[in-house]
Structure 1
Amino acid sequence: MGKAWLPTPRALEALAHAGARVPAAPAYEVLRRANDRRFSLALGATLPGQRTVTTLDEVREALAAPSPGGNWLLRRPHGFAGRGRRRAREDEVLGAARSWIEASLRSFGALVVEPWVDRVADFGWHGFVSREGLILLGDPTWQETAPDGTWLATRPAKPFDLGREETELFARAAEQAGAALASAGYFGPFGVDAFRWRDETGNLQFNPRCEINARYSMGWGIGMGERRPDLDPEP
């Protein structure tokens, strides 16, 4: 049985061409919707001022709001490994950032805007949605990332890496994400990214859902451990 990182029609065609047995996969439009950053945002904003914008004026309005350090992060609806995003200030919307913003709006129709915050620790929680809509979660993981957000390494979360309240918030976010994916018609592996951040007063805050990845991710096998429903034989 072949496995694709993201089972797009092209990936499934490549598996078939290689002689692998092609697994059942969600419809392509389901994959696109589930991996769109607006899908996660529709479950509720998790950072102050986080929103979707569709015009240059809306970008200017969003970036005019207060933000820690005065910086914002613009994220295209689709992207991974730190790609498809740009840091910007309000005064850059009609200047240095304008061409990137306009090109993004033309290509994707929207951007997700959120405050640029001081991230101090990154985490992941992985799971699997069965074709019947059942959700199986692994255990939380600690993630090492580069300054630009690129993934570097994953390990199981150690005791006290996450506080009790953080763990509870994170678990609810993972369960909520799994239920939303199942309702959208998605089945297969998924992961939820989270991070701890420091606000402008120096206090630590926790974002329990910064991203939903409706696919395999680099730390998925580590997070799931011996729970591998993706390896169960298909009927």
Structure 2
Amino acid sequence: MTEKKLPNIYIYNPTCEIAIANGTLSFFPNKTLSKFEKDLDVLPLCFTDSNDVLLVRQMPDNDFLNQISAAGIKLPKFKVLEDALTDDEFVKTDKNSLQAWGWSPRIHHILKPFKTSCSSEYLAQPNAYWKDEHRDLYGRETALKVLKTFLNNHPDDIYIDQSQIARVCTNIQEIEVLIEEWKQLVIKAPLSSSGRGLQVLRYSHLNDSITQWINGTLEAQDYLTVEALLDKKYDFSLQYHCDGKGKLSYMGPGFFLTSSNGQYEGNILGGMPEYFKAYLSDAQMDELSNGIKSAMEESDLATNYCGYLGIDCLLFEDKSGKMRIQPCVEINLRYNMGTLALILDEYLAPNTSGAFKMIFKPKSTFDEFHKEMEKKHPFKMKDGKWLKGYLPLVSPYQNKNFGAYILLENTEE
């Protein structure tokens, strides 16, 4: 008789880095970020199996679930978080693991009632419980150490010069020295993500608002990282899974779209876009992904974290006009959109490509956007695969301000 597979419990909490920076169990995201978490809370369904449970802030509607199911995505069971926490039977039911989008003291505290019914294998993972030392793993110093290890092991001028990589600063005076050296620079908070928590300095001086931000961040997070402003051309990522025992497995690359100030807007689907291939050969991608994997396995990260993670990288043009690689801008220790894009790629028909995007409609709704896109780009499948058109990945029928969707095209259509 086949042993029944225990469910994994998923929850979407993209504010995990902000929660780590705050550090308190009572942290609560601001109104906009809370709406962001609520509106997009079904996104982990792309990772789930039919036996799993996805904890949500509101139940998804049947029209959306039918649409997603018809597209071939296996639906998990859904349970409202507040109800799950007060349901004694659910709390006590045997579970395999807890799969938060990202860990923080807050989400560990929220999910604590479920831990007593999780598997012993899960509870033996290094991040099954929050420890004070985990905070440092998520900070930018961890990414900087991995970058330095990689560059020491790969002294090739295709990669960024060590004189341009980030420096750790603990006061305004240290930042002013780097302004003199680099003129244009980027100042980043240790704990932030998706283009937030940073200041771009293009005019070689600190104005009052940036100075105030620096002092506030130093008070809250102890240090800042400061790096030379690069002439960035393209963003991409490397996606891994860490077993928590010192080994990482490479899942693949991600190619994403960002706004002018570096904020994430979406992921390209269908593999490496043609314009990347002129700058990143298969051999270079292999060297890069294997080298970063080795550098991470030498770090504390490999034995203190278990789960998915993404390395943000970029291609930039140096002052001589040569295209070079910054191989580790930051490390995202969580599920992330690059990982999600790799999962979505598995649904695509041959010769299909496109993008996964997230949008914010503060003065209207995702519902209105959906109606327009559904008419303009009807969704089509072929042989069980996604061929072309528009498909929402969160419900477009619940008055949401934030939305997520894919838009595909096929070269043979």
- Determine if the TM-score, normalized by the shorter chain, exceeds 0.5: yes
Q: Work out the CA distance in 1 between the residues paired with 2:319 and 2:239.
A: 30
Rounded to whole Å, the distance in 1 between the matches of 2:165 and 2:321 is 19
Q: Where does residue 59 of structure 1 map in the other structure?
A: 175
Whether 1:117 and 2:230 are equivalent positions in the alignment is yes
Which residue type is aligned with residue 337 of structure 2? Answer: M
Q: 2:108 aligned with 1:12, yes or no?
A: yes
For 1:6 and 1:21, locate their aligned partners in 2 and report how far apart those are by CA, in whole Å.
20
Q: TM-score, normalised by structure 1?
A: 0.81
Looking at structure 2, the residues matched to 20 and 124 of structure 1 have their Cα atoms a distance apart, in angstroms, of: 36
Root-mean-square deviation (Å): 2.8
Match of 1:186 in 2: 305
Aligned to 2:272: 157
Which of 196, 199, 209 is 2:328 aligned to?
Answer: 209
Q: Secondary structure at the match of 1:97?
A: helix
**1:22-41 alignment to 2 at 5 Å?**
24=123, 26=127, 27-41=130-144
Distance 1:84 1:108, change over 3 A: same
Q: CA deviation at 1:177?
A: 2.3
For 1:170 and 1:139, the matched residues in 2 are separated by: 8
Tell me how far 1:84 sits from its aligned partner. 0.6
Whole-Å separation in 2 of the counterparts to 1:95 and 1:12: 37
Distance 1:182 1:104 in 2: 24
Contact 2:239 2:311 in 1 (8 A): yes
Aligned partner of residue 62 in structure 1, secondary structure: helix
Q: Of 252, 257, 262, which aligns to 1:144?
A: 257
Query: How far has the Cα of 1:216 moved from its partner?
Result: 1.2
Secondary structure, in 3 states, of the residue corresponding to 2:181?
coil
> Would the aligned equivalents of 1:194 and 1:208 in 2 still touch at CA under 8 Å?
yes
Q: Secondary structure at the match of 1:207?
A: strand
Q: CA deviation at 1:179?
A: 4.2
Partners in 2 of 1:88 and 1:80 — Cα distance?
A: 18
Whether the 8 Å CA contact 2:218–2:224 is kept in 1: the answer is yes
Structure number, greater radius of gyration: 2
* Larger RCO (alpha carbons 8 Å, 6+ apart): 1
The count of residues paired between Structure 1 and Structure 2 equals 223
Q: Which runs of 5+ in 1 are unaligned?
A: 227-235
Shift in CA distance, 200/95, structure 1 to aligned 2, threshold 3 Å: farther
Q: TM-score, normalised by structure 2?
A: 0.49
Percent identity at matched positions?
21
Q: Which runs of 5+ in 2 are unaligned?
A: 1-7, 10-98, 152-159, 347-413
Letter in 1 for 2:245: E
Residue 198 of structure 1, CA deviation: 1.3
Which whole-Å CA distance do the structure 2 matches of 1:60 and 1:36 have between them?
Answer: 22
